[in-house]
Amino acid sequence: MKFPSEPFKIKVVEPIRRTTREERDRLLRDAGYNVFQVPAESVYVDLLTDSGTSAMSDRQWAGMMMGDESYAGSRNYYHLEETVRSIFGYKHVIPTHQGRMAENLLFSTIVKPGMCVPNNIHFDTTRANVEHQHAEALDLVIKNAYDPHCDFPFKGNMDLNRLEETIHRVGRERIPLAMITITNNSGGGQPVSMENIRQTRALLNRYGIPLFFDACRFAENCFFIKEREPGYANTPMLTIARELFSYGDGCTMSAKKDGLVNIGGFLSLNDDRWAQQITNMLILVEGFPTYGGLAGRDLEAMAQGLREVLDEEYLRFRIGQVRYLGELLDQAGIPILKPIGGHAVYLNAREFLPHIPQSKFPGQALAVALYRDYGIRAVEIGTLMFGKQDPATGETLHPELEMVRLAIPRRVYTNMQVTYVAESIIDLYQKRELIHGLALTYEAPILRHFTARFTELQKSQPVTV
Ligand code: P61
């Protein structure tokens, strides 16, 4: 079936406000043309992120009422521990308030200055947490991950040749662990194949290097394995997940994605010594080991969410809904990154707006136009997020890909709203030459995308919807 019908019905609704173009134009001016600075109440369809934006199920809400808020030994922790072990299979389960704290605890314990951490592509918080230890974060994804037209089914794969070269170049003793991000968010939500994970493991074994997963979107990755990799078509989702994690020594997890919760995360690993050191640090910065910066009710919602996310019907709908949006756009000739990712569709801003040079922020200009004309919020993943100054020449180095990410929250929007998004973008594409570039008026020294301010270089003609 083309149309991925919802495997749930709606019990609670949250009204969303329609705004006028004039109102949005004013809000954008106040926000310095940065959609992060626009109040969420004035957004019609919010595709800024799929992180922490999921709708919880009735069972998760019921679980919230069963929160055991004891300081130590909450039953919800034991439930979470049992659930995480049953899927991920690692010995220690350390709850954190979200993914970046799991990263921080792991890297501050085992990464020392001058070391290197290879990954397919580090997400920005992962990179920042590695670099915070004065270590180097190396992105070793296969080369065709950077070609938006290549439709290889596992574009998140690690480049094994580059990984082995790296080990030889920097030396095994400078690599405390390797990571694989599933799915690979910064590369377009692309999956990693089981075969590539198996081979990565075999290669790392030869050098005695541990492997950790950045498991944020593990269920979506497992669904792609089932769909695309020979030998898995009839394998249950849980079996696929267990096999995948069996090739690792641990994982970091932002449960705000495939944990189907609004807040939460964890770190899970086998090594007793590391777990002890991490737990000591956890007590210092997060809380007691059986709550780790969360309420008992949050732990319960996370345990239940992890069980629900491996439901194949849910995943078929989830991946199907994202694909449905991507296919509507693709059929209309809109330039998107191929193949369509697990959690988001990425517009290729450079091809959408060929008349705007990268120095004038075409991705950001596209995100601004989408909000102003249709009330849709998306995020730029391009020059604003990843542009860097060349330390030698002072010139701006532009990233290879200039994208606008349409991240779909889980179980939140109906297919009709997704259709509205597609129709809006198709409409915008017809009048794309009316979109003009932007110039920065303020930027923060790090993670500038959150607070940057812009001016519009030339006012676009009013566009009526
Ligand atoms: C997102 F603009 N992702 O995609 P935490 N690993 C991976 C992630 O995707 C991820 C984290 C670790 C977000 C939220 C976000 O500058 C930004 O629970 C693969 O958010 O700490 C988060 O998990 C971190 C968006 C985060 C950003 C930082 O939208």
Give the total residue count for the chain: 465
SS3 per-residue string spanning 169-237: HHCHHHCCCEEEECCEHHHCCECCCHHHHHHHHHHHHHHCCCEEEECCCHHHHHHHHHHHCCCCCCCCH
In this prediction, residue 465 carries a pLDDT of: 37
Q: β-pairing, 396-397 with 376-377?
A: unpaired
Q: Locate tokens 């040079």: which residue?
A: 357
Residue 252 in contact with ligand 1 by CB distance below 6 A:
no
Question: 245-300, pLDDT tens digit by residue?
Answer: 999 999 999 999 999 999 999 999 999 999 999 999 999 999 999 999 999 999 99
Residue 190 Cβ < 6 Å to ligand 1: no
Q: What is the pTM of this model?
A: 0.95
All structural domains of the chain: 21-50+311-456 (3.90.1150.10), 58-308 (3.40.640.10)
- Ligand 1 touching residue 125 (CB < 6 A): yes
CB of residue 129 inside a 6 A radius of ligand 1: no
Contact 416, 423 (CB under 8 A): no
How much distance in Å is there from the Cα of 328 to the middle of ligand 1? 27
Task: Enumerate residue ranges in the chain where pLDDT < 70.
Answer: 1-2, 459-465
DSSP sequence for 129-175? HHHTTT-EEEE-B-GGGG-TT---TTTT-B-HHHHHHHHHHH-GGG-
Q: For residue 257, how far is its CA from the centre of ligand 1 (angstroms)?
A: 9
Which residue, judged by its Cα, is nearest atom 9 of ligand 1? 185
Q: How far apart are CA 281 and CA 106, in angstroms?
A: 10
193 Cβ below 6 A of ligand 1: no
pLDDT at residue number 401: 87
124 lines ligand 1 (CB under 6 A): yes
Ligand 1 atom nearest to 100, measured from its CA: 21
Q: Does residue 179 have its Cβ closer than 6 Å to ligand 1?
A: no
Report pLDDT for 338: 95
Nearest-CA residue for atom 25 of ligand 1: 49
What pLDDT, on a 0 to 100 scale, did the predictor assign at position 99?
Answer: 98
Cβ–ligand 1 contact at 265 (below 6 Å): yes
Residues 307-352: tens digit of each pLDDT: 999 999 999 999 999 999 999 999 999 999 999 999 999 999 999 9
pLDDT at position 393, please? 83
